[in-house]
Amino acid sequence: MGLLAIGLSLAPAGAQFRPSDETPDELPAGPGREETFYACTACHNFKLVAAQGLTRPQWDDSLAWMTKRHNMPDIQGQERELILDYLTTHYPPRAPARGGGWRNPFATD
Ligand code: HEC
């Protein structure tokens, strides 16, 4: 019975704590939408996430940072892949970057 109690106390608080009335329906439809929404809105608005446009390795770094800095559960395996796929598909870097750098859209070369 002790194990059960521990399991319950580690359950994510996302279900109870909703910092806003955002719902996953407001996000672009696609695989991983709900998983991503609930994983991230446990602590903050999804707007904070949607404001970013990152490559897959950068999203992976963001997740690692959330875990290290803010104690986000260390999501691994298939669920992490799903979330990274979702974020990379719908929130990619805004300007097409070659070699990872920002390029001036007005550059003539
Ligand atoms: C355990 C809590 C927690 C969870 C879960 C969490 N974050 Fe965060 N995140 C934070 C905190 C705290 C901040 C800083 C908020 C602020 O700047 O006010 C933050 C900020 C951010 C930022 C803004 C960083 C910047 O430099 O402006 C991004 C992007 C982000 N989180 C992405 C995510 C993503 C993606 C997920 C879901 C996979 C996620 N977070 C889940 C705690 C969390």
How far, in Å, CA of 32 to CA of 79, rounded? 8
Alpha helices by DSSP H, the chain: 2-9, 33-40, 46-50, 56-70, 77-90
| Tens digits of residue pLDDT in 28-55 | 999 999 999 999 999 999 999 999 999 9
* CATH 1.10.760.10 applies to domain 29-96: yes
Q: Read off the pTM.
A: 0.77
Whether the pLDDT of residue 99 is over 70: the answer is: no
Residue corresponding to tokens 């997740």: 63
- What is the 8-class DSSP label of residue 99? T
Pocket of ligand 1 (CB under 6 A): 39-40, 42-44, 48-49, 52, 62-63, 66, 70-72, 83
Atom of ligand 1 nearest to the CA of 59: 35
Whether the pLDDT of residue 6 is over 50: the answer is: no
First to last CA, the chain: 68
How far, in Å, CA of 64 to CA of 25, rounded? 26
Domain ranges, ordered by start, for the chain: 29-96
